Structure 1
Amino acid sequence: MVAHVGLISLSVAFPSMHCLPRLGFTKRRPFAMAALSDDPVQEWILTEGKATQITRISPVGGGCINLASRYDTDAGSFFVKTNRSIGPSMFEAEAIGLDAMYKTGTIRVPKPYKVGPLRNSGSYIIMEFIEFGASRSNQSVLGKKLAEMHKAGKSEKGFGFPVDNTVGSTPQINTWSSDWIQFYGEHRLGFQLKLARDQYGDSTIYQKGHRLIKNMAPLFEDIVIEPCLLHGDLWSGNITSDKDGEPVILDPACYYGHSEAEFGMSWCAGFGGSFYNAYFEVMPKQPGFEKRRDIYLLYHYLNHYNLFGSGYRSSAMSIIDDYLRMLNV
């Protein structure tokens, strides 16, 4: 979801997203240990983070949901996100997703260190600070590494995730299911359609969308769908490279799902031919990939409709109508 925040300002924006960086911190002098009881972030950095002093705190732009900062210390740098309006559950889910991707040992992601509540209200997450390179990630390397993550990250529990999380600021339900079509229909498309009906009174898209859900099984015929670990929100603002040029992915909305669902934000990701060629060398393309592609775009168009308004309704409605005609229902 394009409103997510990254580790460093990516200078990537879509005019219709209405998101501006939130730059709220000013530079400060090194913090003394006496301040520990007032700030759990500093407390962790100056104890478990093995720093003896924080030399600088600087704002990091790029998102509109959380406040992001870089903490420079004598033990290295840390990346910190805070939010004064929410409890730790959102950041806990993010940390679990980052940790799951990190443990595959494939594509680079920031290692999460600590999640907790702020004093008085709000929450924070502390993670590895990654120095970004000057260029975007190499498309073929990105495709290969992403496919390696999908191949390595498997679940014996089926489709879902240990916790619910968010895609942008929208709740994402991850209750386990052994049936991908049921999971995707209920917890992805169905959930978004209900939001649209409840928020906008849009009974037309709700009814047509549910006709599609009830009749979409033929799109998945003659393929084997394994639950793969997905980033879940892979658009250009969540993709970058480190100083060595290796791809880095950020701000996940992880779950175990059909690998093709990872391309649902491709309209905002800029994936080219070299990306897909490299990806399919590791994870071979399955029959009917092209006819299923838009069913995965639909989830994210619906989410953008619910988050940002009617500008995205026509794209979602067009996909639904096209599938209803294709399936003759």
Structure 2
Amino acid sequence: MPQGYDTIHTSPVSAEPLVARLHGRVQNRVWRKSFSNPVVWQIITVGPHKLRMNHKRPNALLFGRKDTVVDPQVHNALPRNCRVISIERRGESFWADTGRIQVALEDGTAQSFFIKAIQGDEGRSMVRSEYESTKAIHCLQQDFVPRLIAWGTLESVPDTHFLLCEYREMVNKMPEPSEFAARLVALHHSSRSPTGKFGFHLTTYNGNLPRATQWEDSWERFFATSLKLALELEQMAKGPDPAFEIVLPRLYEKVIPRLLSPIKSDRQNVKPCLVHGDLWYANSGVDRNTGNCLVFDACCFYAHHEYEFGQCMPDCIRKQMLGDIKDLVLRYG
């Protein structure tokens, strides 16, 4: 699948079966249980954020017309004295324009770059989020993500922001489960939170929805804060619901503490691990040239490593990544 493919985001939450009372409220969502401790339930969003997903796209870029003129800011980030051969649309996104810039280097060698452009203040935050997330993974595993080039604001299109990285051509197949799981486990094990806490140094975006990433000492508190923001966005998109007033206090006061408090003990201490944050089959691939697996469209933060499992649990994703999930569980024991 071409790099830059985005889709409707998923959001992990913890809950007990009492959330079934929300069935009338979340008709467009599917709940699934994840592995081991803590119990993680998965919501996959199908419709409720539709209004927010209609992000204004920078149509003036017209990547598909195979133009050879690039914005001055983008041009400055490309290799010195290169010549642009074409700019073509590549990938699909609900909220961004994505394309491939093909250039000839000074010595005549061909090289390709991937570009993503989004408008507005939120678009700027989204671009920076992806840049910083990709950089965090790249620092630990260089070939597991595309090499970053730059991010910034275009001169030629008002209030439009871009991300530029190397273009990685991918084959149309899933990564081999054992190799992919090994890379994820290595990422989790090798990462170290710079503060020793859960969170990230800036707000990251799952699609075009912000995450609560402020630093927290406990996974329980970080998880609860993240969930509150996700459900606030749900209510902003669909309006208030009396069921939330009944269920949410119980969720925050009883369910989350009951499930997550025990892992604060010394015997079950949780290490904050760097996670991709939106890991599913459309955000992973296999490099056509090297045969190695890779990931992209990251929205990282330091979390319980099981967070990665939860992203893969809905039926529509699990069927594609079942081997990866099994291998991850086996590698973690």
2:205 matched residue in structure 1: 166
1-structure distance, mates of 2:95, 2:6 = 15
Sequence identity of aligned pairs in percent? 23
Residue 142 of structure 1 deviates from its aligned partner by 1.1
Q: Secondary structure at the match of 1:61?
A: coil
Q: Which residue of 86, 92, 96 maps to 1:66?
A: 96
1:116 matched residue in structure 2: 152
Q: Provide structure 2 residue ranges, at least 5 long, that are not aligned to the other structure.
A: 10-43, 106-110
Q: Secondary structure at the match of 1:90?
A: helix
2:317 matched residue in structure 1: 269
CA offsets 1:146-171 (integer angstroms, 9 cap, x no match) = 11111111204100001012111111
Q: Which residue of 56, 67, 72 maps to 1:39?
A: 72
Q: Provide structure 1 residue ranges, at least 5 long, that are not aligned to the other structure.
A: 286-329
Residue 63 of structure 1 deviates from its aligned partner by 1.2
Give the number of the structure whose residues are more often strand, by fraction.
2
- Give the letter aligned to residue 269 of structure 1: I
Q: What RMSD in Å do the two structures reach over aligned CA positions?
A: 3.1
Counterpart check, 1:91 vs 2:137: no
Residue 15 of structure 1 deviates from its aligned partner by 12
Which runs of at least 4 in structure 1 moved beyond 4 Å after TM superposition?
8-20
Q: Secondary structure at the match of 1:204?
A: helix
Residue 249 of structure 1 deviates from its aligned partner by 0.9
Alpha carbons 1:138, 1:246 under 8 Å: kept: no
1:224 matched residue in structure 2: 269
- Of 67-76 and 189-198, more deviation after overlay is shown by 189-198
1:214 matched residue in structure 2: 253
TM-score by length of 1: 0.73
Residue 238 of structure 1 deviates from its aligned partner by 0.7
1-structure distance, mates of 2:209, 2:8 = 21
TM-score by length of 2: 0.72
Q: Which residue of 157, 182, 196 maps to 2:234?
A: 196
Residue 11 of structure 1 deviates from its aligned partner by 11
Alpha carbons 2:100, 2:113 under 8 Å: kept: yes
Greater RCO, 1 or 2 (C-alpha within 8 Å, sep 6+): 2
Counterpart check, 1:237 vs 2:237: no
Q: Which residue of 143, 154, 172 maps to 1:134?
A: 172
Alpha carbons 2:178, 2:324 under 8 Å: kept: yes
Residue 217 of structure 1 deviates from its aligned partner by 2.5
CA offsets 1:195-236 (integer angstroms, 9 cap, x no match) = 233441124135413312222233232522110001101122
Q: Which residue of 50, 55, 69 maps to 2:85?
A: 55
Alpha carbons 2:118, 2:161 under 8 Å: kept: yes
Alpha carbons 2:8, 2:46 under 8 Å: kept: no
Residue 50 of structure 1 deviates from its aligned partner by 3.0
Where do residues 2-17 of structure 1 align in structure 2 (5 Å cutoff)?
Answer: 7=3, 16=46
- Give the letter aligned to residue 279 of structure 1: L
